[in-house]
Copies of this chain bind each other. A is one copy, B any other.
């Protein structure tokens, strides 16, 4: 259980403290504020604070004195235009802050997004909780053969159970020894040293804050089917939060980023020939086999067309 009774009480206290503000406020996001979305076996993600809304994007794009909004349809059209043409600065005018609990190996991927602010729970200063990630059996998957950095289908139930036993036993033993080494009445090892004995599936947590533009970059990369499952679940929740927070931006993002595809110069040439009625085979397409497959995947066709 990721949230203790005491923590729940602190969250509940935040959920009832209403304030009056003149700032742009998004009721759909207010209703999600502070409440954790539970993820993986002990993780969560919750929105702690936010700044701005769809109107703030429009206001910045127009550098206007008031809210800058006109008719809803005109605003949505402007947002679609900005998204399509990668005018990213107006989206930087909104900001969001999350509290996240996540396994260390996921945190190591996440932190690569440099355009963000982070405060992580310090294992030099504090003692970590006995919590480590164990996949569900259906996530215990084999190494992909086609994609060197991906996973294939789930292993059979017995093998998965064997894997989970190993992961559990190793993490448990490492944590036991972590506690033994830390014990102030026993060894009393420095926390900054003892932590090196923990496994990479140990949970950590942090406050993470970024702007709307960089949030979409994160979702674009991490909600992708090629992203590792264990970070994708966080990105998927962010995608839902995006819809609650800035619906017009989220629509444009789905249409022009997540649902879009980029075709290279060579692929465009093939498309042109085909649209003109010509039959084009890979061998005379000028594309490598891999690009040929990527083009068809983007079009939603099998490569054998």
Interface residues of A (CB under 8 A from B): 3, 6-7, 10-11, 13-15, 17-25, 30, 33-34, 48-52, 56, 59-61, 63-67, 77, 81, 84, 89-90, 92-93, 95, 97, 99, 103-105, 107-108, 111-112, 114, 117-122, 124-125, 133, 135, 139-144, 148-152, 155, 159, 162-163, 166-167, 170-171, 173-174, 177, 180-182, 184, 187-193, 195-202, 205-207, 209, 211, 228, 254-256, 258-268, 271-272, 274-275, 288, 290-291, 294, 298-301, 305
Contact = CB atoms under 8 A, between A and B. Distances in A.
Contacts of A255: 264-266
A10 B64 CA distance: 9
Contact of A265 (B97, B187, B205, B254): B254
Contact of A174 (B89, B135, B148, B174): B174
A287 B263 CA distance: 19
A165 to B, nearest CB: 10
Given A13-B66, A51-B49, A119-B63, A264 B207 contact: no
B193 A141 contact: yes
Contact of A300 (B191, B260, B268): B268
- The SS class assigned to the A binding surface is mixed
A84 B22 contact: no
A215 to B, nearest CB: 13
A159 B84 CA distance: 37
